[in-house]
Structure 1
């Protein structure tokens, strides 16, 4: 079976997930091609993983001229494909336009939604229309969290199901805990780590406000944030203005080292689907404090401290409670081990995609 995977501009979990599928689908009898931006190919190396790559510029926001060009390019990319698997509702909508309306004999379209539309105003209205188009053109819509599945169903998706995205098997740290802490200037202080893009969705104002609350502890925890993004300058201004013990590290390639050196992992997002780095932290045996954003509660179960989105006081209490109570940390880690044991892995993800694509192509035949 020949499958074309469509992916847009991404710097994080979506690209890693697509790379994982490409690496595994061949062993399941599926020949894969990937269509997407050249920058995404450069970052994730789909060709090196065994896929035929076709450059198609799919931006992160609607743009009629570039979207029309993308639809034309996708039509060419889909030539000879038995099925199409689009990642993200933007990629799914453009793929649906390229394939046409659902009808007997049309190349089937499987879509995976990884993110929600946030905010309001005209942008929300435009993107809501894109979501609706994506939902109605796909034969099956997968959501990485239950709220995305409900959203697709409400918008008219004919078939939906949850499809949790698994984190890769964690890499072993390459440096000692002591060396990493020394580099970060943590000393004997508690070290809190966050790994995320510096964007509005990640709710980092909540993290900074919580850091101000625990700043008078002795010793005060050091919080480090690995990642870059459009909010970097503004967040650095707040850190400098308020004298917070927070460091923005920029993009890092040593996340396993950071997790091994940390005392807690913290996630303050406004919305998340199934964040890979939270999975990595729990797999690494690191206690987690996270906001109840999107699919986070169903991901972590009772294996993490979960607080309301935007509640910096509750966030600070949860962090300080874990730092002050070793027995509480040990109990959380035991619950986390039980939760992790029930997660799907990357092989499960690939088998699901292969099975659904075969089902769709058999119906087409």
Structure 2
């Protein structure tokens, strides 16, 4: 089988997922090409996995001239493919526009939607158009949450299926929890960890509201591992209000942080199948998250779910876990059990091949 992957600008889970699928198919004897911006190859190394990589200028924002060039580039890159699998709304719309009308020679178009739009205004209107292009142009749409599936179905998508997006195997920590906590200044206080991009979607303003307290003694330290456009704004608020929050930036020692954390927290506006939550479950760290998108289905009853935007509920859930070691141990055990049940790379490959059939 000849499979062409189309991917836009990505710095995280989407790129790792596409690379995993592409490498897995090559290992099974399929011919695979990946098309995307040059920095995607730089970050994820498709060529090292035996995948032919074609540079395509897929920008992160809609632009008429650039998008027209991208459509032509995608059309050339996927020529001869049996299946074109685009990841993300932008890449999916470009792939749908690049392929000819439905003919016997047209490859099957599969689009995986990894995210929902959380912004409004002009950007929201443009992305609404892209959603319609994907819904009407794709043969199959794979979604990471039920709400995305409902939206695609309402827009006319003919075949909507759940996506399988596994977290990569979690490596063993390189340091002891005591060493990690000492390095963060949390020797004698609970450590509340968030692994997230510093962006609007992640609801970090609610996390800071919760961190402001009040807390029972000793107060927790909130550590946020990640980078993004909101760093400056967050730093100003943390300093002005003297919040017990530290911004760690991008980290390559997330397994160490998870092993040292008392609890891991997400205050997101929306999530699909966040790899950071999957990794936390696999690590057996207690989970608290907002009940949005695909999170309830991912976490099940192995974590505490709270409404988005409710800082009081988030604070109460954190206090419940950090105040009672037995309670924390119970949530750690159920998280580990859930983590062991999550699908792996083989299941993701089989799911993709089923969609290509």
**Shorter-normalised TM range:** over 0.9
Preserved CA contact (<8 Å) 2:37 2:56 = yes
Preserved CA contact (<8 Å) 2:283 2:336 = no
Query: Structure 1 length as normaliser, TM-score?
Result: 0.95
Preserved CA contact (<8 Å) 2:116 2:270 = yes
Of 226-235 and 183-192, the range deviating more from structure 2: 183-192
Of 270-279 and 149-158, the range deviating more from structure 2: 149-158
Partner Cα separation in structure 1 for residue 198 and residue 101 of structure 2: 38
What CA deviation, in whole Å up to 9, does each residue of 1:41-69 have, x standing for no partner? Answer: 11111111221100111112211111111
Match of 1:46 in 2: 46
Match of 1:125 in 2: 125
Match of 2:247 in 1: 248
Partner Cα separation in structure 2 for residue 79 and residue 229 of structure 1: 36
**Which sections of structure 2, spanning at least 5 residues, go unmatched?**
none
* Residue correspondence of structure 1 range 1-365 to structure 2 within 5 A: 1-214=1-214, 216-357=215-356, 359=357
- CA drift of 1:135 comes to 1.4
What is the RMSD of the two structures over their aligned residues, measured on CA atoms? 1.3
Of 118-127 and 246-255, the range deviating more from structure 2: 118-127
Aligned length, in residue pairs: 357
**Which sections of structure 1, spanning at least 5 residues, go unmatched?**
360-365
Partner Cα separation in structure 1 for residue 103 and residue 137 of structure 2: 10
- CA drift of 1:149 comes to 1.3
Preserved CA contact (<8 Å) 2:141 2:161 = yes
Partner Cα separation in structure 2 for residue 333 and residue 193 of structure 1: 14
Query: Structure 2 length as normaliser, TM-score?
Result: 0.97
CA 1:180–1:333 in 2, change beyond 3 Å: closer, same or farther?
closer
SS in 2 for 1:347: helix
Of 60-69 and 114-123, the range deviating more from structure 2: 114-123
Partner Cα separation in structure 2 for residue 201 and residue 275 of structure 1: 12
Partner Cα separation in structure 1 for residue 101 and residue 319 of structure 2: 54
What CA deviation, in whole Å up to 9, does each residue of 1:249-279 have, x standing for no partner? Answer: 1111111111111111111100000110011
- CA drift of 1:354 comes to 2.0
Preserved CA contact (<8 Å) 1:206 1:268 = yes
What CA deviation, in whole Å up to 9, does each residue of 1:300-322 have, x standing for no partner? Answer: 01100100001000000000001
Of 187-196 and 119-128, the range deviating more from structure 2: 119-128
- CA drift of 1:336 comes to 2.6
SS in 1 for 2:213: helix
- CA drift of 1:341 comes to 3.9
